[in-house]
Structure formats: C-alpha cells, structure tokens
Amino acid sequence: MNYIIHLNAFLEKAAKEEWMVPHHYSLYMALFNTWNKLGFRKTIYVRREEIMRAAKIKSKCTYYRSLRELAARQYLVYQPSASRFTPATVSMVPMGIRNEPLQVPPKGPLLETKIKSISNDVSNGLPTMDEVIAFFTSYQYSQEEARKFWYHHEATGWLSGNTPVQHWQPLAHKWMLKSPQFKNDEDYNQSF
C-alpha cells in the first residue's frame, strides 16, 4: 500500500463529492491513520471512542451517520460489532492503485549528474579511507584511529543508530573524544 498515492486519490475523489463535509474528512483521516499505524492490514478493529476522539467528532449520531455514508459510497467497509464489548471492524478500500507501470523519464538532470558531485547543505558525501586519513592527520589524530573509524562506519553502512550519516567530520571528532575511553577499557580488560 502506497500511503501517498492512496491519500492523494482519496483527496481528489473527496473534492468532487458534494455530499462530503468536514466530518467525513476527519473520520476518514482518523481511520486512515489507524490503518497506517496497524501496517495497512486488510481489516482493522476500531473502538468508537478512540476514533471519535481522533476525528474530533463529539456526537455518536454524527459518527455513525458519517461512517455509514462513507461505507455506502465505498470508501470503506464497515462491520458493526456483535456486542458492545467487542470492537467493530473496518476494511479500507484501496484507492489510487494503477495497473500501468511507473513511467520513468528517459532523461533528466539527476540522471545525467554523478550523485557524488552534487553538493548541498545537507550532505557532504561519504568519505573514502584516504579522505578520512587526511582529515585525521590534519587534526594530528592517529592514522590507526582513522582506519578504525572508517572500517567501523563502512561496516555499519554509515548509519548512526538508524539515521544515515550526513556529516562525517563531526562524527570523527566525537570518535576521537571517546578514543581515550576505548583505550582505558582495553587496559582495564587486559588487567584481569
């Protein structure tokens, strides 16, 4: 399920519907958000109180009327619960699914440019080992630490946690600030 394609398709379709009012939009968005959080499952369980709170709907009548109208116009499939102690189920109807293949332009400015040569404020590119060694040498850090730094980050795919490294130089300084700590840990481990 493509989040953006589905959402854009809903908004385009809803804009053409004369019967649709803000309650329908807010209810659909609350259900869509729940569906997204649950990984776009085929059927989701919904509790009226939670969805009403998320949709900012205060009246049960407005909630149920909007839900029935969305279901009647095939935006979703609603199954009421068998008892008040079990949640109702909703199946969101997929929108914006295209059977045609994605069209990729044969030419474009980025296709003709080497990505490494693009420079902007966000990323300064991933360094080679030689660049890291030159950087470490310019700050009088050891080349051994430069190699350790490069191999470590090369092995982790240049990720810091789950975030891609965008500026490696500050990370190198941080590495060196922690370097004495690593040495002390090694000395500590060797003493036993």
- Strands (E) located in the chain: 44-46, 76-79, 88-92, 159-160, 163-164
Beta carbons within 8 Å of 54's beta carbon, 6+ residues apart: 30, 33, 34
pLDDT of 156-178, one tens digit each?
888 887 778 888 888 898 888 88
Domain range summary for the chain, segments of one domain joined by +? 3-92, 123-190
Is the per-residue pLDDT at 114 higher than 60?
A: no
CB 34 within 8 A of CB 54: yes
Q: Which residue has the higher pLDDT, 33 or 112?
A: 33
Whether 70 contacts 24, CB under 8 Å: yes
Top-level class of domain 3-92:
mainly alpha
- In the prediction, which pLDDT does 65 show? 94
Task: Say which DSSP state 94 is in.
Answer: P
